[in-house]
Amino acid sequence: SAVISQKPSRDICQRGTSLTIQCQVDSQVTMMFWYRQQPGQSLTLIATANQGSEATYESGFVIDKFPISRPNLTFSTLTVSNMSPEDSSIYLCSVVSGQKNTGELFFGEGSRLTVL
């Protein structure tokens, strides 16, 4: 299993500002993912955070808007840049435990962002 600490747990942000979310895992993992969950909706994959290289973004998400860092095998950050009210959402960090590429995902508690 994996224990994930994510912060901030929630924040209220002003339009046009940027916020960085941190994700810390209690063990080394190969696969880290960032998901977005808009109110009452499902989880949408933003990107796969790759250690030592650029993140791999899904269709509809770009690096300029959601820059991601992955400096080591236990930590990643997601920045939501130039925020608008449409970015109000829960952002979730998730990992596949250990060095596997497939298997169950463990999720952080999520970061609930409200953009005014």
Partner 1 sequence: GQQVMQIPQYQHVQEGEDFTTYCNSSTTLSNIQWYKQRPGGHPVFLIQLVKSGEVKKQKRLTFQFGEAKKNSSLHITATQTTDVGTYFCAGQSGNTGKLIFGQGTTLQVKP
Provide the binding-site residues for partner 1, judged by CB under 8 A: 30-31, 33, 35, 41-45, 48, 59, 92, 96, 100-110
CB of 17 to partner 1, least distance (A): 25
| Closer of 29 and 83 to partner 1 (Cβ) | 29
Q: Are 110 and 37 in contact (CB under 8 A)?
A: yes
DSSP-assigned letter for residue 87: G
Residues 6+ apart with CB under 8 A from 46: 33, 34, 35, 36, 57, 58, 61, 66, 78, 91
CB of 9 to partner 1, least distance (A): 11
Q: Based on CB atoms, which residue is closest to partner 1, 14 or 40?
A: 40
Q: Rank residues 83 and 96 by Cβ distance to partner 1 and give the closer one.
A: 96
Neighbours of 17 (CB within 10 A): 11
Number of neighbours of residue 61 by Cβ within 10 angstroms: 16
Q: How far is the CB of 18 from partner 1 (least distance, A)?
A: 24
At its nearest, how many Å lie between partner 1 and the CB of residue 20? 20
